Structure 1
Amino acid sequence: MNKNILKILAFLVLIGLFATSCGSTRKTIAISEAEEAVFNETAEDTVRIASDKTEYEIIIIEPGFYTWLQSIARPEGYYSQNYLESRNAIFVMNWNQRVLMPRQFNPQLYLLQIDYNPQIDYGYEVNYKLYNYFIFFQRKYNQRLGPFLPRI
């Protein structure tokens, strides 16, 4: 056989193995009954994420989010601000990319871009609530905004 054909076949086999292994290792997220009940809420919740210091504000109108934040999310202080900022930078980048690709990602889920600059100190509360919204969103809608599972 020709060496080029062998290289192409080897490459295709590697791609096939990679695609198969990626599909088989995708883990599902375990959702508790309490969390499922929160996800099924229909009354609108409004959570304001703001920092007067930076004049930054996000308003989240999402059924169940406030309840989830108060009852299921890890409490404030559980994560360091540095951890929250690094995860938020990844989540925002992926979120904004999906907003720009409405044919590939559901435009009903990804409505607006988020203006988040990792170089700005938004404070702990803003980063905490934004991070938890991303976790809530990923778990509720079975989405992945990063390379890691959205765990509580």
Structure 2
Amino acid sequence: MKFLIFTFAFSLMIFSCDSAKSPLQGNTSETNTTASDTVRIANDSLEYEIIIFEPGFNSWLVSQEPRGYYGQSFLEGRNKIYVGEYNNRVRTVNKYPTNLYPQIIDYDYFTDYGYEVNYMLYNYFIYFQERYNQKFIIGRN
């Protein structure tokens, strides 16, 4: 009888531990956060694609100036400067951390990417500077 009670108590303990893990295993908030923080902008006719997968970017973007606040020519001008500075830092591996500047951004200055791409890219550069305490040539405005 003691053996049966011991076995039942032990099984109950294991089951209760396992049931406590189940909600954690089924918790997809981390996956959802990563998925919701991934921004993909693509235009198949121009054959370009921007993918921003930076945790916290979407929630940060909501607190920034809304679409339409800046003109497209302003955004394009800033993006040209930011892309040039960013790519320069990618090439200068001994001066800047390669984990922050992993690869060149292929941004053609003569291609009209449209407002949305320029808006997102501009805001990503602002976010990048704030989040990683990086200072580019020009400031926010």
Same fold by TM-score greater than 0.5? yes
Structure number with greater Rg is 2
1: CA distance, partners of 2:64 / 2:43? 21
Higher relative contact order (CA 8 A, sep 6+): 1
What's the % identity of the aligned pairs? Answer: 53
| 1:93-113 per-position Cα deviation (integer Å, ceiling 9, x unaligned) | 010011111210011101111
Superposition pairs for residues 27-106 of structure 1, below 5 Å? 43-44=33-34, 45-69=37-61, 71-106=62-97
| 1:9-38 per-position Cα deviation (integer Å, ceiling 9, x unaligned) | xxxxxxxxxxxxxxxxxxxxxxxxxxxxxx
- Unpaired runs of 5+ residues, structure 2, are 1-32
Q: Does 1:150 align with 2:140?
A: yes
SS of structure 2 residue aligned to 1:48: strand
Structure 1 residue runs of 4 or more that deviate by more than 3 Å after TM superposition: none
- Unpaired runs of 5+ residues, structure 1, are 1-42
| 1:36-58 per-position Cα deviation (integer Å, ceiling 9, x unaligned) | xxxxxxx4321112234422111
2: CA distance, partners of 1:60 / 1:130? 9
- C-alpha root-mean-square deviation of aligned residues, in Å? 1.3
Q: Higher helix fraction: Structure 1 or Structure 2?
A: 2
The partner residue of 2:125 within 128, 134, 146 is 134
With the length of structure 1 as denominator, give the TM-score of the two structures: 0.66
Aligned residues between the structures:
107
